[in-house]
């Protein structure tokens, strides 16, 4: 049981650092995209600095955290194979697959921006930034509530959270349009 608690602690630490990277990388994407619209030499200076920052965040924090989080999760499942028979775990693992999809898409965007290819708007990135938040909410509620979780209320809650996040983004956009320095 002591080993289990150590492994679980390490898993949770790397969940936190992985999400920290996934929360921050789209913000850097937003700044990078907005930097490409600035005049020279600001554009080049900012773009080079943001490339370096995203590269360090991605390869020093986010990727290692994702890998270590996954390794400790697999170890936990080896220690507690009965979890694989639980319906809540199946749903949680589905969200983890979605999280990896999100991670790989962020990697693709990262590579594009490293090549100075801007294929998305900063507004899209603000919305994209909230995907990890929705996945985090879903996974935390699943893990904590397990079988006591009412799926209807859970789905409604995630939809409401998504709507609130979108409204927040729209409000931020209006404030930014009125005050470009905000």
The pLDDT of residue 152 is 65
Q: Which residues contact 69 (CB under 8 A, 6 or more apart)?
A: 11, 14, 15, 17, 18
> In which element (H, E) is residue 177 found?
helix 151-178
Q: Which residues of the chain have pLDDT under 50?
A: none
Task: Please state, in angstroms and as integers, the Cα–Cα distance from residue 109 to each residue in 100, 116, 137, following that order.
Answer: 14, 10, 24
Separation of alpha carbons 43 and 46, rounded Å: 5
Domain ranges, residue 145? 2-178
Angle of CA points 164, 134, 14, to nearest 5°: 140
92 is in an annotated binding site: yes
pLDDT at 178: 83
- This model's pTM is above 0.75: yes
Work out how many domains the chain is built from and give that number: 1
Q: What is the DSSP letter of 37?
A: T
């Amino acid at each position: 049981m002591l080993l289990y608690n150590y492994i679980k602690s390490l898993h949770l630490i790397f969940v936190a650092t992985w999400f920290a990277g996934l929360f921050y990388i789209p913000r850097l994407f937003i700044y990078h995209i907005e930097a490409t619209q600035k005049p020279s030499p600001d554009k080049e200076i900012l773009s080079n600095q943001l490339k370096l920052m995203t590269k360090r965040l991605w390869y020093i924090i986010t990727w290692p955290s994702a890998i270590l989080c996954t390794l400790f999760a697999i170890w936990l499942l080896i220690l507690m194979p009965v979890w694989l028979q639980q319906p809540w775990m199946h749903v949680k693992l589905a969200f983890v697959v979605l999280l990896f999809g999100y991670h790989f898409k962020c990697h693709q965007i990262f590579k594009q921006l490293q090549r100075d290819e801007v294929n998305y708007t900063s507004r899209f990135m603000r919305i994209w930034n909230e995907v990890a938040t929705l996945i985090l909410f879903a996974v935390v509620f699943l893990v904590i509530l397990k079988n006591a979780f009412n799926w209807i209320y859970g789905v409604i809650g995630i939809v409401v959270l998504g709507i609130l996040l979108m409204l927040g983004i729209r409000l931020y956009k209006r404030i930014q349009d009125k005050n470009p320095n905000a």
